[in-house]
């Protein structure tokens, strides 16, 4: 992701009381969870410490923070919210500056989420 864009987004998030965490400890937790970034609540986002976050990771986690702020996150709807976030990333690829390779990965993830949701129902 463009470092200047990331810094603007991070600064704005922190001005609203949010915190972005990056540490080796978080990397171990994310490895355990099988994720590359995680939003814990409306004010806490973690990105890997061992590399810079991708544009997709940054925008997706900010989408999830918004979902938390809107009090839409429950223990039972995480998959639906992942689908919603993926659809928004796909729709806004150009506006968000998401490279084609990340866009294709998001489209693949969306299909997997839909399959999982169908299996769950």
Across the range 12-21, mean pLDDT stands at 97
Determine contact, residues 58/7, Cβ cutoff 8 Å.
no
Determine contact, residues 63/80, Cβ cutoff 8 Å.
no
Q: What's the pLDDT tens digit per position in 53-99?
A: 999 999 999 999 999 999 999 999 999 999 999 999 999 999 999 99
Phi, psi of 50, deg, nearest 5: -85, 0
Q: Which pLDDT belongs to residue 16?
A: 95
Looking at residue 19, the DSSP 8-state letter turns out to be E
pLDDT beyond 90 at 100: yes
Residue 103: band (very low, low, confident or very high) from pLDDT cuts 50, 70, 90: very high
Determine contact, residues 13/21, Cβ cutoff 8 Å.
no
pTM as predicted: 0.94
């Amino acid at each position: 992701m463009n470092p200047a864009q990331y810094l603007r987004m991070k600064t704005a998030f922190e001005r609203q009381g949010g915190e972005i965490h990056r540490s080796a400890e978080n990397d171990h937790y994310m490895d355990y969870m099988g994720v590359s970034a995680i939003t814990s609540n409306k004010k806490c986002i973690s990105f890997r410490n061992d590399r810079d976050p991708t544009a997709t990771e940054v925008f997706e986690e900010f989408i999830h923070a918004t979902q938390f702020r809107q009090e839409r996150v429950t223990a039972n709807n995480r998959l639906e919210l992942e689908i919603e976030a993926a659809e928004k990333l796909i729709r806004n690829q150009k506006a968000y500056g998401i490279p084609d390779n990340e866009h294709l990965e998001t489209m693949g993830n969306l299909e997997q989420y839909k399959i999982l949701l169908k299996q769950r129902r």
